[in-house]
Amino acid sequence: MENVLRPLIVFGGAIVLAFAVAWATDRLLRRADARHPETPLWGLLRRGRVPLQAVIFVALLNGFYEHADIARQDQPTVNLWLHIILIGAAAWLALRLFAAVVETSTARYAGVAHDPARARRVKTQLTLIQRLVTAVVVVIAASAILLQFPAMRTLGTSMLASAGVLGIVAGIAAQSTLGNLFAGLSIAFGDMVRIGDEVVVDGEMGTVDEITVSYLVLRTWDERRITMPVSYFTSKPFENWSRGGPQLTGTVFLQLDHSAPIKELRAKTEELVRANDFWDGRSWSLVVTDTTPSTIEVRAAVSARTSDDLWTLRCELREQLLAWLQFEHPAALPRVRLAPTDDLHGTSSNGHWEHRETRLS
């Protein structure tokens, strides 16, 4: 009878106590979350209930297993696996708690920050810190598990003597990886590029979707994903359209005839820009920027709140100006003048200049 009661008391007590402690902790966190809804930390900490149960159960079982009087001849093996499971559960719990702290900090700062760029910078830094801490915790947990085996302890002791040589070899072999790691930290804390920034890299324009310690993911306007090493952004130039604010100024170029009514075109441009909802009200202009023997170049410059608004504004303004010119001033559109001649001096047989005008279609 005692052989049956001992295991039941040990295993049953460990399970009941683990669930009781986890349930009580969850209740306290739920009450704290209800009292402080502005702080999501307490609600996020509830995600650690399952790993907390695992840690408490395995720790109790590891401490009282010898009192269960089960398979004493296999107790060293059982203790070994209990230690391994305990290390894994503790690492799991630590990662859940740290993730809750990071998400809380990100949400709190995003709610109080008046500058969206600064909020994105903090999010980028916290995300990289979380990934780095996750990698460190996983490495430490894996190392602690390996050290539970006697053979690994002996191997570790022998390798420690040649750690200097191995460090040099590993540094040379992992030069690219280490370079990306330090580049990722430089990006996070140097405020070079942030999650959500709009950048132009090698002629590709997109939004930074993800930043890790080794690579960066760029989401283009057509929903493609470009993965690039973070070391690229510390060694080569790139355009960051979000740095200093998301507002931008864009241009619309028109090739027109020399007879184009510039004053009327400027007045019409102002009318169209002011009536467009995508204009941010900061600035607009229309000037003649160049001239050729057959055409003139007219540039309209407009400002918008974001790059998406600017793109739409430019397209609509270009379309509306061309429609207005075709209807009101068709002669202002580019044309090719053909002047047939009968002699080398370009005069017709009756001695007068003749020309034809053919509009480009």
> How does pLDDT run across 147-195, given as a tens digit for each residue?
777 766 665 555 444 445 445 444 544 455 555 566 666 666 666 777 8
C-alpha 288/C-alpha 86 separation (Å) is 75
**Burial of residue 230, with CB atoms counted within 10 A of its CB: 0-12 exposed, 13-18 middle, 19 or more buried:** buried
**Helix and strand element counts for the chain (H, E):** 11, 10
Specify if 345 maps to a domain: no
Tokens in use for 7?
A: 């295991």
Specify if 256 maps to a domain: yes
CB atoms within 10 A of CB 306: 17
Q: What is residue 312's three-state secondary structure? A: helix
Asked whether residue 151 falls in the same domain as residue 299, the answer is no
C-alpha 22/C-alpha 231 separation (Å) is 44
C-alpha 342/C-alpha 113 separation (Å) is 76
Q: What is residue 82's three-state secondary structure? A: helix
C-alpha 219: how far from chain center: 9
- Domain extent for 230: 190-240
Asked whether residue 172 falls in the same domain as residue 314, the answer is no
The last residue of one of the domains, among 179, 200, 228, is 179
C-alpha 281/C-alpha 276 separation (Å) is 10
pLDDT of residue 352 exceeding 60 = no
Query: Quick one: pLDDT at residue 154?
Result: 63
**Burial of residue 356, with CB atoms counted within 10 A of its CB: 0-12 exposed, 13-18 middle, 19 or more buried:** exposed
pLDDT tens digit sequence for 122-151: 777 777 778 878 888 888 888 888 777 776
Asked whether residue 29 falls in the same domain as residue 171, the answer is yes
Asked whether residue 158 falls in the same domain as residue 236, the answer is no
Asked whether residue 42 falls in the same domain as residue 137, the answer is yes
When mean pLDDT is compared over 36-45, 81-90, 274-283, the highest value belongs to 274-283
C-alpha 250/C-alpha 264 separation (Å) is 21
Specify if 360 maps to a domain: no
**Burial of residue 284, with CB atoms counted within 10 A of its CB: 0-12 exposed, 13-18 middle, 19 or more buried:** buried
Kind and range of the H or E element at 221? none
C-alpha 49/C-alpha 46 separation (Å) is 6
DSSP 71: -
Instruction: Report which of 253, 245, 254, 252 is spatially closest to residue 280, judged by C-alpha positions.
Output: 245
Asked whether residue 147 falls in the same domain as residue 295, the answer is no
C-alpha 299/C-alpha 255 separation (Å) is 9
Task: For residue 207, give the CATH number of its domain.
Answer: 2.30.30.60
The last residue of one of the domains, among 133, 151, 179, is 179
Specify if 185 maps to a domain: no
Q: Which amino acid is at 78?
A: V
Instruction: Report which of 280, 331, 328, 277 is spatially closest to residue 301, judged by C-alpha positions.
Output: 280
Asked whether residue 102 falls in the same domain as residue 228, the answer is no
pLDDT tens digit sequence for 287-305: 999 998 888 999 999 999 8
Specify if 359 maps to a domain: no
- Report the pLDDT averaged over residues 68-82: 67
Kind and range of the H or E element at 115? none
Q: What is residue 354's three-state secondary structure? A: coil
Asked whether residue 201 falls in the same domain as residue 261, the answer is no
Q: What is the mean pLDDT of the chain?
A: 76
Tokens in use for 150?
A: 């006697």
Query: Quick one: pLDDT at residue 252?
Result: 92
Specify if 347 maps to a domain: no
pLDDT tens digit sequence for 19-37: 888 888 888 888 887 787 7
Asked whether residue 141 falls in the same domain as residue 221, the answer is no
Asked whether residue 33 falls in the same domain as residue 86, the answer is yes
Specify if 358 maps to a domain: no
Asked whether residue 258 falls in the same domain as residue 203, the answer is no
162-193 burial: b if 16+ Cβ within 10 Å, else e: eeeeeeeeeeeeeeeeebbbebbbebbeeebb
The last residue of one of the domains, among 158, 179, 200, is 179
Specify if 354 maps to a domain: no
Asked whether residue 139 falls in the same domain as residue 28, the answer is yes
Number of structural domains, the chain?
3
Window from 113-117, 229-233, 305-309, 355-359 with minimum mean pLDDT: 355-359
Residue whose token pair is 């047989």: 349
CB atoms within 10 A of CB 37: 9
Task: For residue 323, give the CATH number of its domain.
Answer: 3.30.70.100
